[in-house]
Structure 1
Amino acid sequence: MVIERPEPAYSNDEVGMLRSYLDHYRGTIRLQASGLTDPQLDQALAPSDLTLGGMLKHLAFVEDYWVSYNLLANEPAPPWDTAPWDDDPDWDWHSAAGASHAELDALLADAIARSEAHLDAALAADPDIGRRVARERDPAKGETATIRWVLVHMVEEYARHAGHADLIRQSIDGATDL
């Protein structure tokens, strides 16, 4: 499997710039997990319990949660629809243990593809990224995210976890130049 990590554009419109950074960090996370064995994906860097496998599954959830669930107001799709969130709020991280790299990477790649298709459709219908997403985030406070907020948040989520991925990967096999 060849993982590509596109470089962010130096010049683009706002949407293009945000999406190019998001694509860069998506590639970074997948690259950090590439080439590892299934048991290596379950390795954590103490004292944290974060694993690269858990990160792949968590980010697949984040993709579906923010783009499909919030932006479009779709109901949760499998496996998120039956996840025991009340029993384990970090189910996405913990349930990755023992899953294969192929399974976890495919879950993330599929979630990214769905997000890209959903974003393309939403922006084709109305390119204003200052408009509100379909699902109200906090009706009591009257706060609902905008598409701009979702895109910036997705960049932030991936960038934060890319730092974690660097440390975890280095602790597993010493790789520092991915």
Structure 2
Amino acid sequence: MSEITRIRPPQAADERATLNGVLDFLRSGVEVKLAGLTEEQAFAHPIHPTSLTPGGVVKHLTGTERFWFAIDFAGLDVEWPWPDDDPNGAFEIAPEDTVEGLLTAYRAECARSREVVAAASLDDLARGEGMTFKLRYALVHMIEETGRHLGHLDLLRESTDGKVGQ
């Protein structure tokens, strides 16, 4: 696995650069939390009674990126991110999942999200069926979503191997 570079978000930038910078900083934190974990560690349940796993959180965030940016905002015809029996989650690890596979999928989905965001104005309305939000709202929501789950990853990682920090 390659070294993960975390770039602190700009503190005196315009709205777009600030929103994108904060979200990218959080996204890189997600990768840091899985870096160095084995599949066994990434898919274990270190905090009871929760069923959350580090790998499951990353799988969920991958789906959330696709849902908010590619499907709901851009209206792209891409695969639905969640199984029919778990329409809002995808936290479950499949037998074929690997840490590297989950991180590769997450990076690819974040890259597609960045492309969608770069091609639109913050005031553009979502094009997904029945959606009425602006891109600005989607960015703020993903900052909240990624930040919340990065907190879960902090706890899961510390409980797994004691690693703390960024």
**Scaled by the length of structure 1, what TM-score is found?**
0.85
Distance 1:90 1:158, change over 3 A: same
Runs of 4+ in 1 over 6 A off after TM superposition: none
Distance 1:50 1:60, change over 3 A: same
Correspondence 1:52-131 to 2 at 5 A: 52-77=54-79, 80=80, 83-85=82-84, 87-89=85-87, 92-96=90-94, 99-122=97-120, 127=121, 129-131=122-124
Compute the RMSD of aligned alpha carbons.
1.7
Percent identical among aligned pairs is 33
Correspondence 1:1-178 to 2 at 5 A: 1-44=2-45, 45-77=47-79, 80=80, 83-85=82-84, 87-89=85-87, 92-96=90-94, 99-122=97-120, 127=121, 129-137=122-130, 144-178=132-166
Structure 1 contact 6–24 (Cα < 8 Å) conserved: yes
Letter in 1 for 2:22: Y
d(CA) in 1 for partners of 2:57, 2:145: 11
1:177 CA displacement: 2.3
Q: Secondary structure at the match of 2:119?
A: helix
d(CA) in 1 for partners of 2:57, 2:5: 18
Partner of 1:141: none
C-alpha distance after superposition, 1:2-47 (max 9, x if no partner): 1122111111101110000000100111101110001111122211
Structure 1 contact 70–133 (Cα < 8 Å) conserved: yes
Structure 2 contact 55–93 (Cα < 8 Å) conserved: no
**Scaled by the length of structure 2, what TM-score is found?**
0.91
d(CA) in 1 for partners of 2:119, 2:103: 24
Letter in 1 for 2:41: Q
5+ residue gaps, structure 2 = none
Letter in 2 for 1:176: V
